[in-house]
Structure 1
Amino acid sequence: MKALKMGIIALVLGGGIAITQSSFRSAETDTLWGNNSGTFVNLTGIAEDNSDNPADGTYSCAESARVCTGTSATTPTQISDLSNQSPGTFSLN
């Protein structure tokens, strides 16, 4: 069984408050999961950089759009199904 890759998602909220949320990527299913206040959200739509890690990039989520868009290290991408997320910016490292 392949080990889970660990990462950090920084969720920047209004008022200048930054909350660090943990995330992990399952190498077996090629899926990235984000922890949003205890609820894991599937972030599968993030583009990859042809390695075993998610591409670096900044992703902004608009609550009204119910999707997140952003630019990775290689290509613009869409992160779908984030209706539970608050508006903010996600940095994947």
Structure 2
Amino acid sequence: MRALPLLLCLALPSCTGLPAAVAGRIPEAERVGAPPPLVPLGPLLSQADAPGTPDPGPALSGRAAALNARAAALRRPVLSPAEARRLSGGVETGPLS
């Protein structure tokens, strides 16, 4: 019996239409038009595996080489050896004058 008010509160929003903010984003043709047709999956998969589709291997290997070059450039030391020595000396913490 205690669950009935909760169930009614959850079911009440289903009685309304879409909010204006959501309904305004859906184009009129999609809201009132026919649903898109369902197509069989077999022909789509056969087109994807067809020999006429270009091999992405060379393009991907070129992109991989470019990314590896960028990664190598980012792995370089940021500081010169002189700067690293100076910073490794630390900060002088003597009394302030």
What TM-score, normalized by structure 2, do the two folds share? 0.16
> Which structure exhibits the higher relative contact order, with contacts defined as CA atoms closer than 8 Å and separated by 6 or more residues?
1
What TM-score, normalized by structure 1, do the two folds share? 0.16
Higher helix share: 2
Higher strand share: 1
Larger Rg: 2
